[in-house]
Amino acid sequence: MTSALPINWCANNHQLVVVWLSPISETDYIFIPYSAEYLNSMIEGDKVKKMPDHERFRLDLSMLYILETSLKGDIDNPYPEVSTDEDEDETILMMIQQLRASRDWRIESLLRATIPDWTALMMLGYPISLRGIAEWPTNRASMELFEDIQPTPYSNEVGKFVSLLVREAKKED
């Protein structure tokens, strides 16, 4: 028998979460992204090799999320020929494309949202478990908890591309 949570366990704050949607695999994930400072400390300290797989996966997804949300300008051209007028963004776009290609995440999308911390606890075991990654429950009831869910700028282009592929596939059927 497990002990019940205390009534005041929830601070009623909101928690940033990211959803990784994969139209080509059966599993989607929801996770709390690592901070840029933590990512840098892990990379500089060469601690990534010693991380368990689920933490390395969360680290890679966090890096992808940070890169995709650090774009300052608008993205031109449809995916996969995305480009930008900003010089700094060109470097970031190149890093995003390299990271996505290295993990075969060419058509998966990242969505971000803030959710109540009780929802994060329910889905991720946060803050009880620091694992911070879980399968994404895609039922309608869970979607209602994500009022402000939106794609990252790069993933918005990816999502348009995927929806185009789906429409084309339906025309052929």
Total structural domains within the chain: 1
Residue 76 in domain: yes
Whether 2 maps to a domain, the answer reads no
Whether 6 is covered by a domain: the verdict is no
Residue 28 CB: number of other CB atoms within 10 A? 17
Q: What is the pLDDT of residues 18-45, one digit of tens each?
A: 999 887 778 888 898 999 999 999 888 8
Residue range 125-140: mean pLDDT, rounded:
68
| Of the candidates 112, 120, 132, the residue with the CA atom closest to the CA atom of residue 11 | 120
> The domain containing residue 144 runs over which residues?
14-172
Query: Per the domain annotation, does 145 fall within a domain?
Result: yes
| Mean model confidence pLDDT for the chain | 82
Does some domain include residue 54? yes
- Structural domain contains residue 64: yes
Q: Is residue 149 part of a domain?
A: yes
The pTM assigned to this predicted structure is 0.82
**In a domain? residue 8:** no
Q: What is the pLDDT of residues 58-93, one digit of tens each?
A: 899 999 999 999 998 888 888 888 888 888 899 999
Q: What pairs with residue 111 in β-bridges? A: 19, 151
